[in-house]
Amino acid sequence: MEEKGRIGIPKALMYYRYFPLWKVFFEELGWRVIVSGGLGRRGELRYLEDSCLPMKLLLTHCMDLKDRADHLFVPRLVSLHRSFIMCPKFRGAPDIVRLAMEESVSILDETIDLRVREHSMLRSFLRSGQRLGATEKEGKRAFQRAEKCFVSFQQGWEDRVNRLPSEQVFHLAPPPEPTETPKKPFRVAFVGHPYNLFDTDVNKDILSFAKNLGMRIITPEGLSEKEIDAQVSDLSKEIYWSSGREIVGSLFYFLSGGVDGVVFLTSFKCGIDALLQEFVRRRLKLRGGTPIPFLILSLDEHSGREGLTTRLEAFKDVLEQRKY
């Protein structure tokens, strides 16, 4: 099939969860998918307002793509859960991008709002497909194929995170076979927004550092909604952000056992994270602490990773002292 054009996908925000789905969908419709590069060590952030780092990165990545792509894919993510919503910044993301691009590039910004049938994942993608000239039938077939690929992508998740270098985690190729099994690694759960966990420009590739320290990384990606719900059902107040709910639910899931330690990666400027931290601290206090070592790491725009590595090293020493 001849190539219809290029869809640019910025490597930011929910790229770090849904990229395989997005990529396969557009490729199935005959478009070539291109992805923005990394920020690199010397990368310069491009932004309009002093937002959180992940949002600034979205604009930076879009700028990188705008002259190379026919369309940018920046969906309007209102809700990724049947009853809870995303941070308002996600809702405005396509508008912020449009403003920054000065209308120089077409933006595919169909709404995804899983609370409403009209905006289900499938329907949103069908509309994107329509804008690209695909019939409903073609769109449906592409989406089914994409979903199938996404499911198989998710299946090898833990191996993928632990065996691949960070920049390859979201490539579609299957993870490599284990080279050698290191002496019993510490199982450490890393919890946070997907982009905090996997964007190396946000977290200075803290996961690779953790792996080098002999940690096996466990992430909330594998948890079912049921497991998360069980942890947050008794809250005095419902957390209405889906990401916040997921984070708190998985934190307490891991803090109740099964891992050697739990690390919560937060964004310095993130309003949701600021509230969640306080919330988690209070809940832990009520419960009289946690038997599992717990570390909160705050990610900001500091260029050095010293602050992060020092804390993680010390955390590993804590885990070691506990074990022996």
Residues that bind another protein (CB under 8 A): 37-38, 40-42, 268, 281-282, 284-285, 289, 293-294, 296, 298, 300, 302, 306-307, 310-311, 313-314, 317-318, 321-322
| Smaller CB separation from another protein, 79 or 298 | 298
> At its nearest, how many Å lie between another protein and the CB of residue 281?
3
How close are the terminal C-alpha atoms of the chain, in Å?
60
Q: Extract the tokens encoding 283.
A: 């809940």
| Smaller CB separation from another protein, 74 or 188 | 188
> At its nearest, how many Å lie between another protein and the CB of residue 310?
5
> At its nearest, how many Å lie between another protein and the CB of residue 293?
7
Helix H segments across 156-255?
Answer: 157-163, 194-198, 200-203, 206-212, 225-232, 242-255
**5: nearest Cα among 144, 131, 125, 193:** 131
Q: 77 Cβ partners below 8 Å, 6+ apart? A: 14, 86, 90, 91, 93, 112
Is residue 147 within 8 Å of 164, Cβ to Cβ? no
| Smaller CB separation from another protein, 30 or 307 | 307
> At its nearest, how many Å lie between another protein and the CB of residue 309?
8
Distance CA 189, CA 286 (A): 22
> At its nearest, how many Å lie between another protein and the CB of residue 287?
12
CA 113 to chain centre: 18
Distance CA 25, CA 108 (A): 13
> At its nearest, how many Å lie between another protein and the CB of residue 212?
12
Secondary structure, 3-state, 115-149: CCHHHCHHHHHHHHHHHCCCCHHHHHHHHHHHHHH
| Smaller CB separation from another protein, 240 or 268 | 268
